[in-house]
A and B are shown apart, each in its own frame.
Chain A
Amino acid sequence: MAPKTTLETSGAVAHLVLDDPEAKLNTLGAAMIAELKERFAALKSDAAVRAVVVRSAKPGGFLAGADLRELKALSEAADAAQAGYRAAREGQGLMDLVEDLGKPVVAAVHGAALGGGCELALACTARVLAEEGASVGLPETQLGILPGFGGTWRLPRLLTLPAALPAILTGAPFDPRRALKAGLADTLAPLPRLVQVAEELALSLARPGAPERAARVRRARIPRMNRVLDSAPLRSLALSKARKDVLAKTKGRYPAPLKVLALLGDRSGGRAAYLEREARALGELLATDVSRNLVRIFFLGQDAKKQAGEGSPSAARAAVVGAGFMGSGIAIPLVTKAKLPTALKEANLEVLGRALKKVRGHLDKAVAKRKLTPVQAAAGFNLLAPGAEAQDLRRVDFVIEAVPEVLEIKHAVFAELEALVPEAAVLGSNTSTLPIADIAAKARHPERFVGMHFFSPAEVMPLVEVIPGPRSSPKTVAAAVDLALRMGKTPVVVKDSPGFLVNRILLPYILEATQLVAEGVDPRTVDSAALEFGMPVGPIKLIGEVGVPVIKHVLGILRGAFGDHLPAPDWVNREDLASAFPRGADGRLSVDAARIRAWVGRPDPGMPAPDLEDRLYLAMLNESLRAMDEGLVSDPGLLDLAMIYGTGFPPYKGGPLRLAGVRGLPRWADRADELARVAPWLKPCAAMRSGRAAA
């Protein structure tokens, strides 16, 4: 196998250059670990080498972390816990070797140094970060595991426990300025001088006492409060508070943060004993379903991002037509992430003014959170060209329409657009329900129409359903996928069918919830069953949040297409349905359960909690299986991904199809048969009975 590193020498300084010829980014797989161990062992014994610089030759970054494919394989092994433990011990061995090298090792970090990459940097004597774009952190808990190469040992020692805790528990990376302030970085350097600065630092650290002095300098930058809180009695206080916060936030559904906290609480036995415990904890986490689900979703998301539109010309100028709630939300990632000049067309100037205010507000918040500099925020805002006149759009090459969901309005808008935009421009419709076939029915060039269903609020939700119409060209679809990616979204290509994918599955679930209410169950009981299941919002409350008119509109369309297997509770059809979702003075929406119960006028049947939960889930599962059967998406993983990204389906459960696989479809079919005695629409669909298509 070709070596993944090269060695260069510059006087007494050896440069160990990470440069995996087989990958775009360096990862810390077993082969890389083994090679680095050999390299460091040789450097240790080489008397001519007084100091070492570790750096990467990849433009993309330093070292992106563990090789997740290896990790996935480990987690799927029969003895995952043992395999994970052994892998962690290997990585720890490398880090210990670096830390104990007896010569200064300086990490010169540009781009990402995450997970194992961060742990390697932590094991070094000092760290130089590129002023711009360096990102250092331990995101492992987001995958349901923990940093197992000594990261949980070294980070708290470098930063103090109060600073390291949130970094490990949330996985949020440090940007260069925060890294410097926290004592993680020794210094920052402009990218072109990064290597030179690292080399000079490495040489200076070779002088006796210099590493200790550098550590003192780093330590002095750490906020005094954190240093005080890092003392023995206060540490346990910090840990117990963090534990409380984690439990409140995750309800204990995610084992990794709790494991991290337990690990950090036990300092007995020094480094060797601690690392032994860390490796064991990693193995145990790797063997959990939660981590398997999170890793799978991570890969599905990565794959979705890799489907980049091959050969499609990337849009250079975009336009959004309609600056209402969705249009303004879509404009935000266009200017902040895709950084495209974006014409925002809206006939009503007041609406346009409000949209501009919303974009400004969003950017101001990003500045306040230090995600953007004021100059970057202004540049983003200035990319927006607002206007009431359609003639704005003569130079754009991608239009996203976000006008009301009325076919006649869409037709009128697209007729005007087709007359204006260049021949090659793509016309995307942010519709949540209307078939693309219908929208493009009157088009002169239907091949350039495509559905782009953004989820609300569009500036936050990561999913975009890309819906090719029957006559959309592959180039058009590729352009839509490409644009969604550049907007930082995850596109999932879905067949043109009523409700597309996510609403198709979500609505039966909402309807099942309303049916339970119609049977007398308190709306609050229904909602808390869904929350208990792991959904972010209860389905009844969701009706109010999405908006009663939208829900009724989507319901109408789905009933028309799939009425045969949907319940039809009366109270949802009420004219005054919206009155059940009052907004308080603070703008917060609530569910007026008493009012709904009065409408229904039935006593609570005292339904057992498992029945509630299973009926809600089966409504989703049945529809998911039908969607797979109809080929709405190409792969069960994409369905799970779409439901997690689009509705907040609990990620640790892996998605509706994956979850079904845990108990097995046949058992779910039996359960559905049982429940169908009172709720006949839940009868298992053919796919469930046959056990096909589970993930």
Chain B
Amino acid sequence: MSQPILVIAEGVRTPFLKSGTDAKEASAGEMARQVLQALLKRVSVDPQEIDEIIFGCVAQPFDQANVARVAQINSGLPLSIPAYTVHRNCASSMQAVTSACEQILSGRAQVVVAGGTESLSNTPLAYNRKAVAWFARLGRAKTPLQKAGLLLKAPWGEFLKPRVTLLEGLTDPTCGMGMGQTAELLADEFGISRREQDEYAVRSHLKAAQAQTSGRFDREIVPLFAPPSMAPLTKDNGIRPDSSVEKLAKLKAVFAREHGTVTAGNSSQITDGAVALLITTMERALSWGLKPLAILRGQAYAGLDPRRMGLGPVYSTGRLFDGLGLSMADMDVVEINEAFAAQVLACLKGFADEKIAVGRLGLKRAAGALDPARLNVHGGAIALGHPVGSSGGRLLLTLAHELIERRAARGLATLCVGGGQGAAFVLERDEHTR
């Protein structure tokens, strides 16, 4: 029996909204609930046909354990459908798709919703270790006298030194580097200037602004009704159509203050958003009378030095191309997650340059030069933002729509992963897809 053809049958996402803005009161579970409902409304599939629901989420909400299950139940989907949450840092929603594919290929499922959800607005501040220890002692205190004694010894100062879980989450615990610092390292090693990074960032904003004006993203986006006003949100709100190199030049480097090149302006934005994709086989999708968005041709993950995590796409793409016998020349469109401009620019060198790819990075061969005109044609995370657990799914959704838009055959979506990993997917169109 030949292997079934896996497809993204349908997909939707919320607009990507800068953290602390319009969606700040929508939890990760609430956003996932809304994309789940919206996805199921787009396809006339009986919910009973769904075998599994998988969501990626990085900053998993402490009050919504297994957020995928929370979202599923709240969306009114049958309780009989199981659901779980996966975590592979920035590739979490890609991992959800991978897990979906594996379940289908192993015969344990046929229809899976794979998505991602992230509310970085809702990452908590945590008490530090000393404060926590004091609260623990207070909890054990039995008599009022003991309690009063502890109150006198309270480490008041520590209460004002919370742990910012968002910042700590963006720091690699094994090498101690912040994600921005890894981008600085790549800028240094690959000789990428501040100006090159800023120019890249401006292009991202302008392309995204153009796409937003033309309505290109409206095909992907479903409205998010954000509490408490429930006002419908339909547009990504991080795009700056008036971005310019001059404006970006004024920003200070944030990760290496003295001679740094990585700024808030040429890094991805901290953002809230969710995405949901319906993964199944071509056969099943066609049986619903549904033309799928794209075929999932192949996928690969690769590990590398955490300090150079930004090169993850070079490694994972290399591995994927080796497996599929493809090269960059076969890709009509490419989506690379723009964690940092420096990191994307370093990847471009890693793809193109045989000496770097083989000599420095130890790959078998270079993937091939990537024409910038085919890269992130509608901008990327620098303009749209990077709701970490949702970004991978967004790349797949945007790529699928772009293949349809261009009547193109094949494309690549790849992303770097904190902790030193890369993820890469190849999507294809054929006569059965949209």
A-binding segment of B33-41, B59-67, B244-252: B33-41
CA gap between A360 and B227 in the complex, in Å: 9
What per-residue 1/0 map shows which CB atoms of B35-63 lie under 8 Å from chain A? 00110011010100000000000000000
- Given A353-B232, A391-B42, 7 other A-B residues pairs in contact with their CB atoms under 8 A: A343-B41, A350-B232, A379-B74, A382-B33, A382-B74, A392-B41, A395-B44
Query: Which of A349, A391, A392 is within 8 Å of B223, CB to CB?
Result: A349
List B contacts of A349 (CB < 8 A). Answer: 223, 232, 234
Give A297-331 interface residues, CB cut-off 8 Å to B: none
| Residue on A nearest B231 in the bound complex, by CB | A353
List B contacts of A655 (CB < 8 A). Answer: none
Main secondary structure of the interface of B (DSSP, over half): loop
Whether A389 contacts B74 by the Cβ 8 Å rule is no
A691 CB-CB contact with B under 8 Å: no
CA gap between A394 and B44 in the complex, in Å: 6
B76 CB-CB contact with A under 8 Å: yes
B: interface residue count bin: 20 to 34
List A contacts of B190 (CB < 8 A). Answer: none
Give A381-405 interface residues, CB cut-off 8 Å to B: 382-383, 385-389, 391-392, 394-395
A80 CB-CB contact with B under 8 Å: no
Minimal beta-carbon separation of B28 from chain A (angstroms): 15
List B contacts of A395 (CB < 8 A). Answer: 44, 46
A676 CB-CB contact with B under 8 Å: no
List A contacts of B41 (CB < 8 A). Answer: 343, 385, 387, 389, 391-392
A354 CB-CB contact with B under 8 Å: yes
* A and B contact pairs by CB, cutoff 8 A, 18 listed: A341-B76, A343-B41, A349-B223, A349-B234, A350-B231, A352-B225, A353-B229, A360-B227, A360-B228, A378-B74, A379-B74, A382-B75, A387-B38, A387-B41, A389-B41, A389-B42, A391-B42, A395-B46
Whether A357 contacts B223 by the Cβ 8 Å rule is no
Minimal beta-carbon separation of A387 from chain B (angstroms): 5
List A contacts of B152 (CB < 8 A). Answer: none
- 7 tightest A-B CB contacts, nearest first: A349-B232, A356-B230, A357-B230, A394-B44, A392-B41, A382-B74, A353-B232
Whether A386 contacts B225 by the Cβ 8 Å rule is yes
Number of residues on chain A facing chain B (CB within 8 A): 23
Give B216-252 interface residues, CB cut-off 8 Å to A: 222-223, 225, 227-232, 234
CA gap between A343 and B75 in the complex, in Å: 12
Whether B76 contacts A385 by the Cβ 8 Å rule is yes
Whether A383 contacts B76 by the Cβ 8 Å rule is yes
List A contacts of B223 (CB < 8 A). Answer: 349, 352, 388
List B contacts of A391 (CB < 8 A). Answer: 41-42, 44
CA gap between A392 and B223 in the complex, in Å: 14
Main secondary structure of the interface of A (DSSP, over half): helix
What per-residue 1/0 map shows which CB atoms of A337-366 lie under 8 Å from chain B? 000010100000110111011001000000
List A contacts of B42 (CB < 8 A). Answer: 389, 391
List A contacts of B33 (CB < 8 A). Answer: 382
Minimal beta-carbon separation of B73 from chain A (angstroms): 8
CA gap between A341 and B36 in the complex, in Å: 14
List A contacts of B222 (CB < 8 A). Answer: 387
Whether B232 contacts A352 by the Cβ 8 Å rule is yes
Query: Which of B44, B75, B230 is within 8 Å of A360, CB to CB?
Result: B230
List A contacts of B37 (CB < 8 A). Answer: 385
CA gap between A385 and B230 in the complex, in Å: 13
Minimal beta-carbon separation of A668 from chain B (angstroms): 52
Whether A382 contacts B76 by the Cβ 8 Å rule is yes
CA gap between A353 and B228 in the complex, in Å: 10
CA gap between A353 and B234 in the complex, in Å: 12
CA gap between A353 and B229 in the complex, in Å: 8
Give B233-279 interface residues, CB cut-off 8 Å to A: 234
Minimal beta-carbon separation of B412 from chain A (angstroms): 31
CA gap between A357 and B25 in the complex, in Å: 14
Minimal beta-carbon separation of B338 from chain A (angstroms): 29
| Residue on B nearest A388 in the bound complex, by CB | B223
Minimal beta-carbon separation of B316 from chain A (angstroms): 36
| Residue on A nearest B34 in the bound complex, by CB | A386
| Residue on A nearest B36 in the bound complex, by CB | A385
List B contacts of A387 (CB < 8 A). Answer: 38, 41, 222
| Residue on A nearest B234 in the bound complex, by CB | A349
Minimal beta-carbon separation of B147 from chain A (angstroms): 27
Whether B230 contacts A353 by the Cβ 8 Å rule is yes
What per-residue 1/0 map shows which CB atoms of A77-117 lie under 8 Å from chain B? 00000000000000000000000000000000000000000
List A contacts of B234 (CB < 8 A). Answer: 349
List B contacts of A360 (CB < 8 A). Answer: 227-228, 230
List B contacts of A388 (CB < 8 A). Answer: 223
Residue from B33, B44, B225 with most neighbouring chain A CB atoms (10 Å): B225
| Residue on A nearest B76 in the bound complex, by CB | A341
List B contacts of A389 (CB < 8 A). Answer: 41-42
CA gap between A394 and B33 in the complex, in Å: 20
List A contacts of B46 (CB < 8 A). Answer: 395
CA gap between A394 and B41 in the complex, in Å: 8
CA gap between A350 and B232 in the complex, in Å: 6
CA gap between A476 and B46 in the complex, in Å: 24
Assuming the contacts A350-B231, A382-B76, asked whether A356 and B225 have C-beta atoms less than 8 A apart, the reply is yes
| Residue on B nearest A348 in the bound complex, by CB | B232
What per-residue 1/0 map shows which CB atoms of A385-429 lie under 8 Å from chain B? 111110110110000000000000000000000000000000000
Minimal beta-carbon separation of B293 from chain A (angstroms): 16
Minimal beta-carbon separation of A425 from chain B (angstroms): 13
List B contacts of A379 (CB < 8 A). Answer: 74
List B contacts of A343 (CB < 8 A). Answer: 41
